[in-house]
Amino acid sequence: MVAQAKGARIEALDHQPRLMPHLHFYLDAFNSLRYDRPIGMVAGPIPWSSLDRYAQRYDVGDFDLFESHIRALEAVLLQHEAKEANK
């Protein structure tokens, strides 16, 4: 952020939520996996096969919990994108 680099105060950053440490893995995974979303008229959901490969690579113990967290993050992103498209 240019303004932040110049020392300007950004009010929104004063109120950003704190993520519980054990959830960082899921956010990092989502940020990596969201680029696997198919793009057509609108972006689709992250393919299950991408989740499965990621879970295998990073030795995820509870795939159902992993998928649940990723889908929840994805739902928020899709909702945000739909809201932006309607502006």
pTM of whole model > 0.95?
no
For the chain, the domain total comes to: 1
Residues 19-57 as b or e (16 or more Cβ within 10 Å = b):
eeeeeeebeebbeebbeebeeeeeeebbeeebbeebbee
Does 39 reside within a domain? Answer: yes
Does 13 reside within a domain? Answer: no
- Measured CA to CA, the distance from residue 77 to residue 9 in angstroms comes to 26
Q: Which structural domain range is residue 74 located in?
A: 19-85
**pLDDT tens readout for residues 12-36:** 778 877 888 889 999 999 999 988 9
Does 2 reside within a domain? Answer: no
Does 12 reside within a domain? Answer: no
Does 6 reside within a domain? Answer: no
Any idea what DSSP says for residue 47?
Answer: P
Taking all residues of the chain, what is their mean pLDDT, rounded to a whole number?
86
